[in-house]
Each structure stands twice: as structure tokens, then as C-alpha cells.
Copies of this chain bind each other. A is one copy, B any other.
């Protein structure tokens, strides 16, 4: 058994049985080892940011890590942006990054780079294996760290000779440490704030947005003085009919300041004190009013369910009074498309148990409010602001949950970053309906330009924010990668196209032109 075999067997024994790959020469022994282990499923991506983003989408849905296979430093760098998003979503991922044989590095051949340097900003744990006999134990440590709450990125750098040399066999992965439950003092302090009658915001994120946790959260908001919100960017939220209706902190700073202005306290449930996504001249970075009391109930790496149970006991509120949304669909619109109409069509069309990958950016700001009563669905979004996340997330989510329909809401500008995802969707026959919101501009930048005080951008600036010269033909792009598609320019066409996408075999793409 060589080092590569010991690695693959350690991954499988540790519960990691999917590998999203974009291999190169230095990974050939690892690829051969993948081939010999039939339990390991391999999914090829044609660019690494597809690979890492798909691993993120997979982990968000299953709360367990996939592995990735990346080719040396530039391959890791190509996948960096979606690792950044994954890091901000606190999901587990095990990256395997091939490198030159250790004895070859000193010659500084053209593809040599500082892989650890590239890995460091996005990896909670990283290590370069030093010999074939250490690969398995390094991998076991990588898995254990990835599985440690709230979920982490581990990057194992695999010099070619540690893959091809003789190893001793696989290593056993230790269980991740059990998350700690907050002490009574914190629980009592938070209960006191809730009982105070002063306006309180309970801000939830991460593990607190799974449906069981949201049900508990809804029980502590029985008083009118206590409101519940999710933070602005979240790895996954369970939504729709039968779930607790959870709004988010708004993205535009002025709206967020307005939304949060009335609170005297914020209680953090696996969340952090809300900050503006970007800084703007003469606007604050912190979104809560000055002087807000900030109270941590539970940190994201702690036992969120235990903390919520303890708080409910302390408050003595009923165990069976979760406030969940009724099934409710807004009237189906007709006529030409705009953001509101698109949102209403979508709210009507979400199938039971769907997964929605949302990188709709400016187009999607209204989806949340229209879809509280839609069919129940999981909602995943770009978390770290690194665009090009949506199509890969959808790709990975479909691998994780092959029996669930996936709807991918994708802005055109950010969709172009990782359009190669469509090919993987076609190869895997994934049940994904992609809506490309083809407004043919970086619409968000036009708003942001005004937001930073530039009110009259000139023609050259506009040229850097408009994508209409030439217009992208997304149906042709999809066809080029083996994905069938169509165009929608009004509400009726959109509904019809969505029906087609949701019922056809394999992926389908709708260019939504408005």
C-alpha cells in the first residue's frame, strides 16, 4: 500500500467518501488510488473554484466534509475564493493539494510555489506530509479538525513522493471534541435581558438556523419586546411552510441601521455582533445602535442546542409553542419581469423539499419576504462575499442530495466566474434548474457607487459595470457545456420554463432577461 492508498482509505474510514477533483501531474498516484477504492465517489470540475464551491455546497447540506483534489499552489489559489466562502459558512472541507516530490522542491521548477502560504488564509489546519508513512495520520488529523465544531477547512499538502512511496496502512480518525455547553451564568444573564421588557434582538447564525434550533428560538420570542433575526450571510437556513419565519439583517447599511435602530440589546446565538459588509464614508461599521448591550448566549463552536434548551428551561416558556409559517402562496403574477415579479413567480414554483442556492445578488433582495409560506426548502447563499459561489454550491448540493430538486438563483455577473459548473452538472445529470438573472450589468456596483458618494459615473466607469457589449447569451453558454436551456422574458414564460426545468431529466438553465 502506497501513501496515496493509505490516504484514500483513511478518508473513507473517516466518513469522507466524495472527492471533488481537478487533478494534475503531481496527483497521478492519488488519482490511481481513488480509482482502486470503489467507495470513493469522484466528481470532476473543470476549474478549481467549481471544485471547492461544490465541496462547500455538499458540506452545507450534509454537515459532513467532502474532500477536494487540487493541483499545487495555483490550483489551490484557483479554488481559494470559494474556500473563503466556505470558511465564512463554517463548513468542513478536506483539501488534498498535490505538490512536487520533496526532493524536487529545491530546484524551484516552474510550478513550484508557497502552497502553505496560499493555504494559510483559508485553512484552520494545514500541513505538508513529510513521508509516505505519515500521510495517513496527517489525514486523520485533518478530518478530526474539519469535523470540530463549528466546522473547519483542513488542507493537506501531498508531495508526490509521499503518495507514491510505501506506507503502513490507513490511520483511525478520532472523534471531534464534544462542543461545550455555556455555563449557567451566561444562561441566566440572557434570560434576565429577555425578561427586562426592553427591546431585544435575538440574532441567530450557523447551527442556530437548522429547523430544530429555530423552533427553540421561536419559543423565547413570546414577548413583543423580543425579535428574532438571522445574520446577513448564512451557510444554510431551513425555510418555508412549517418552519419558523426568519428574516435576515439587511445588506444595505442604511436599511440595516433602520431595521436595528429600536433595540437596546442583542443576544448572540452562534452569531456575531452585526457589522456592515463594506465601510462607507461617514457611515458606521457596527449596525446596532450605539450603547447596545451585547450578550453572548452561545458561541458558534459551542453546544447551540444545549444552550437553547437551558435558556428555555430558565425562562420557563412552553416547550410546544414553536411559531411556524402556514402554507401561503402569493398570487401568481403575469406580465413583464422585474425583481418583484420574479420573486412572486419563484415563491409559487418552489417544489417540496427543494434546495435553493442563492447568488442572485441585487435581483434577489425580495425573495425572502415572498417565500415564508412557500413549500419547505433549504436555502444556501454566498457567505463570504466572494462571487462565483452560487453555481458551484448548487452543483455540490445536488451531489449531496440527489433526490431533492435544486434551484440555482444566479446573477449574471457572478455566474460568469464559475460557469464551468454547468459542465459538471451535465456530466452528473444533476437535478438543477438554474435561473440566470440577465440584467447585463454589475447592478450591485451601480448602487454601491452611489453609496460611496460617486453620483455620476462617467462612460468609462459605466463600461466597467455593464455587461451588455456584447450581451452574454447564456443559453448558448449552457449548450456549450451540455446543458439544455431556454429564455424567459415575462412571468408566464418564466413559470413555464421553471416547470420545464423542474420536470426534465438533468440540469436546465433559464436565462431570465429583464
Q: Mark A18-45, 1 if CB is under 8 A from B, else 0.
A: 0001011110110110111000001010
Q: Is the CB of B110 within 8 A of A467?
A: no
Chain A residues numbered 280-313 whose CB sits less than 8 Å from any CB in chain B: 281, 285-286
B463 and A44 form a contact (CB under 8 A): yes
Task: Assess whether A32 is in contact with B454, with CB atoms less than 8 Å apart.
Answer: yes
| B84:A275 contact, CB within 8 angstroms | no
Q: Is the CB of B25 within 8 A of A445?
A: yes
Q: Contact: B36 with A100, CB < 8 Å? A: no
Contacts of A386 in B (CB 8 A): 74-75, 111
Q: Which of B110, B275, B471 is within 8 Å of A482, CB to CB?
A: B471
Among A177-185, A318-326, A473-481, A486-494, the stretch that binds chain B is A473-481
A residues 246-290 touching B (CB-CB < 8 Å): 272, 275-279, 281, 285-286
Q: For A109, give its contact among B36, B100, B277, B465 (CB under 8 Å).
A: B277
Contact in complex: B388, A448 (CB < 8 Å): no
Q: Is the CB of B77 within 8 A of A44?
A: no
B-side contacts of A103, CB under 8 Å: 279, 285
Q: Determine if A80 is an interface residue (Cβ-Cβ < 8 Å).
A: yes
Contact in complex: B160, A452 (CB < 8 Å): yes
Instruction: Indicate if A113 sits at the interface (CB-CB under 8 A).
Output: yes
* CB-based contact A42/B464 at 8 Å: yes
Which of A399-434 touch B at CB < 8 Å? Answer: 413, 416-417, 419-420, 423, 426-427
Is there a chain B Cβ closer than 8 Å to A114's Cβ? yes
Residue with the highest number of chain B CB atoms closer than 10 Å, among A417, A453, A474: A417
Residue on B nearest A460 in the bound complex, by CB: B35
Copy total for this chain: 2
> Interface segment, A115-123, A133-141, A350-358?
A115-123
Are A74 and B78 in contact (CB-based, < 8 A)? no
Q: Let me know if B113 and A84 touch, CB within 8 A.
A: yes
Given contacts A164-B453, A457-B31, A457-B32, contact A84 B80 (CB under 8 A): no
Q: Looking at the complex, which one of B276, B454, B469 makes contact with A29 (CB distance below 8 Å)?
A: B454
Distance of A41 from chain B, by nearest CB (Å): 9
A81 and B77 within 8 A (CB)? yes
Asked whether, in the complex, the Cβ of A458 is within 8 Å of the Cβ of B120, the reply is: no
Residue of B nearest to A163 (CB): B452
- A121-B118, A384-B74, A416-B420 known; A32-B480 Cβ under 8 A: no
- Enumerate chain B residues within 8 angstroms of A477, measured Cβ to Cβ: 476-477, 480-481
Tell me if A161 is interfacial: C-beta within 8 Å of chain B.
yes
Complex CA distance for A77 and B76, rounded to whole angstroms: 9
CB-contact partner of A457 in B35, B420, B453, under 8 A: B35
- Residue of B88, B113, B276, B416 near A47 (CB, 8 A) is B416
Q: Is A461 an interface residue (CB 8 A)?
A: yes
Inter-chain CA distance A32–B446, complex, in Å, is 12
A101 on the B face (CB < 8 A): yes
Which A84-120 residues have C-beta < 8 A from chain B? 84, 88, 100-101, 103-104, 107-111, 113-114, 117-118, 120
State in angstroms the CA–CA spacing of A13 and B316 once bound together.
71
Q: Is A375 an interface residue (CB 8 A)?
A: no
Whether B481 and A470, one on each chain, are in contact in the complex, defined by CB atoms closer than 8 angstroms, is: yes
Contact with B along A356-378 (1 / 0, CB 8 A): 00000000000000000000000
Q: Whole-angstrom distance between the alpha carbons of A276 and B111 in the complex?
A: 11
Q: How far is the CB of A381 from chain B (nearest CB, A)?
A: 11
Q: Mark A150-171, 1 if CB is under 8 A from B, else 0.
A: 0000000000110010000000
A164 to B474, CA, bound (A): 37
Q: List 29 A-B contacts (CB under 8 A).
A: A25-B277, A25-B444, A28-B451, A28-B452, A28-B454, A29-B454, A31-B454, A32-B458, A42-B464, A47-B417, A74-B386, A75-B386, A78-B388, A80-B118, A104-B278, A107-B285, A107-B286, A109-B275, A110-B233, A111-B277, A111-B278, A111-B384, A111-B385, A111-B386, A423-B470, A472-B480, A473-B481, A474-B480, A477-B480
| Those 9 A-B pairs whose CB atoms lie nearest each other, nearest first | A470-B482, A111-B385, A74-B386, A477-B480, A77-B80, A104-B279, A476-B480, A101-B279, A74-B81
